[in-house]
Structure 1
């Protein structure tokens, strides 16, 4: 029984590790853009800002997920509302656009 529990735990940890994300270091970004793995961040910022005209960018984060790169943009509108926009960093496709509560 202990062996079965140990195997189950190891399998669960392996599966979880595959779903983990890692922040991309700033010094890695130019090479990712040059190689075409991600769009330039200025272009991704424009996509996010177009969803909320007049908003300002508060924070950004580029993560390496198991299925590609995701660019997360936090925006603040003039009336103080905050929005979290997640983009596919390779295509610019909007993955999520939700108000932060």
Structure 2
């Protein structure tokens, strides 16, 4: 039983540590990140997202700093009223996640 408890505790700590690595980037820091070339302009990132889902509307977005990359997380609703979550590498525009929100 002690082994099971120890494994559960270790797994919980690992998950918690992974979550703690992401931090919201304050909006007032975004222009400097663009100027420094660390991220693409948000308008450009939004266009990438909207090309994936033509006719969709962005309902929320957030820029997070993960350990080594900036990730632009976008929620949108398409023309059929389906909600989507799209995550991009904010420096390259690479699509990291594009899945329907359930």
Instruction: Calculate the TM-score normalised by the size of structure 1.
Output: 0.83
SS at match of 1:66: coil
- 2:80 equivalent to 1:79: yes
Give, in whole Å, the separation in 2 of the partners of 1:85 and 1:75.
8
Give the C-alpha shift of residue 59 in structure 1: 0.3
5+ long unaligned stretches in structure 1:
none
What is aligned with 1:100? 101
TM-score (norm 2): 0.82
Aligned to 2:49, the other structure's residue is in SS state helix
Length, aligned pairs only: 92
Mapping 1:34-45, distance limit 5 Å: 34-45=35-46
- For the 8 Å contact 1:61–1:73, the answer to whether it is kept is yes
1:18 Cα offset (Å): 8.7
Counterparts of 1:21-60 in structure 2, within 5 Å, are 21-60=22-61
Match of 2:79, SS? coil
- Residue 67 of structure 1 and its aligned partner are, at CA, apart by 1.5
C-alpha RMSD over aligned residues: 2.2
Give the secondary-structure state (helix, strand or coil) at the position aligned to 2:58: strand
Task: Give the unaligned 5+ runs of structure 2.
Answer: 1-5
How big is each residue's C-alpha offset from its partner over 1:29-85, in whole Å with a ceiling of 9 and x where there is no partner?
000000000000000000000000000000000000002100001110121100000
| Local SS of the residue matching 1:53 | coil
